[in-house]
Amino acid sequence: MNLKEIRSKIDFLDSRILRLLNERMELGLMAKKFKPKIEDNEREKALLDRIRSNSTVLINAGFMEKLYVEIINQSKNLQQKDYQLISFQGEHGAYGEVASREWNSDFITVPCSEFGRVFDGVKSGLYDFGIVPVENTLGGVVGQVNELLIKTDLYVVGAVEIPINLCLLALPGTDHREIHAVYSHPQALAQARHFLARNRLEPVPYYDTAGAAKMLMEERPKASAAIASKLSSELYDLEIIKEDIQDLDRNVTRFLVLSSEESKGEGDKCSIIFSTEHKAGTLFKVLEVFAKGDINLTRIESVPDEPGDYAFFLDFMGSNKDDNILKALEEVENITTKFRLMGCYKERRVA
């Protein structure tokens, strides 16, 4: 091993230490939700005792104690601030995190392994908000999320559309001519199918786009790259070999922002979910209400609910403080079997 290789390993470990510290601070903010007060002297003493007992030949107990006192103090300082947490599915760097930063850059983003954990965390109060994708211009509806929306009593308090710009990422110093395998989520691989075929790159499915970038940085497989966001390249110290490798120019995903409380501000877009009787013309009657009210529909989607039944998602322009909208909603509720106004909110479109 030469000096260059040693320094490369040190840089890798430093990056990993920083990410772990960031994760520890996130957990500290989450712990605040369940603690009666920030100070917990017994907990701190037990932690420092454990640190002292785990000292090594190279790292003495005094150094470790000073280091962890600083870490504990920083965590407590963060807990004293009024940060709000927003959860997304995937690893840091996922497009859900990109969308949450676009919606509100002041929120602290927290990754979840599954969409269900996003919903459960918001409902339990662990997170203040959750952000989930509902549809993509190329991939269509996100079935799992829409199925969860049928069952939840959470409110939609915002929406954001972001362009999905896929980037080919590699370890620093990689010669692009040596890349043979590309890791990413199956949907991202499908959206860059022509690019991969044109460059004779083998697609390798992975559970998450950002997860693929993280794996590339940590495991460093030879002759490999990942397809992920530009944010992932920044977080995992990867080089962007090529940007915008998606096959079609218009690749947009729409995300909904969820909360356990209704939006307090006045929105300009509403989302409802409803079911109808199994009779001819029942869906038409619902749509006719909006047509007569000159209300612009922006989305209608059907999702399987109970066996043999379907739930309908419908988005439209307007505010639930407008008399015309309220009248239409009352009519729709009267002619449907299940009805819920999921929320009235502002929607942001990112160019």
Catalytic sites, residue numbers: 253, 255
Question: What does residue 244 show for φ and ψ, rounded to 5 degrees?
Answer: 55, 55
Residues 337 and 277: their CA atoms lie apart, in Å, by 6
Give the chain as a 3 state SS string: CCHHHHHHHHHHHHHHHHHHHHHHHHHHHHHHCCCCCCCCHHHHHHHHHHHHHCCCCCCCHHHHHHHHHHHHHHHHHHHHCCCCEEEEECCCCCHHHHHHHHHCCCCEEEEECCHHHHHHHHHHCCCCEEEEEEEECCCEECHHHHHHHHHCCCEEEEEEEEECCCEEEECCCCCHHHCCEEEECHHHHHHCHHHHHHCCCEEEECCCHHHHHHHHHHHCCCCEEEEECHHHHHHCCCEEEECCCCCCCCCEEEEEEEECCCCCCCCCEEEEEEECCCCCCHHHHHHHHHHHCCCCEEEEEEEECCCCCEEEEEEEECCCCCHHHHHHHHHHHHCCCEEEEEEEEEEEECC
Residues 45 and 65: their CA atoms lie apart, in Å, by 11
Please compute, for residue 229, the number of CA atoms within 13 A of its CA located in the half-sphere on the CB side: 20
Residues 4 and 232: their CA atoms lie apart, in Å, by 25
**Cβ proximity of 168 and 213 under 8 Å:** no
Instruction: For the sheet with 181-184, list strands across it.
Output: 202-205, 181-184, 224-228, 167-170, 239-242
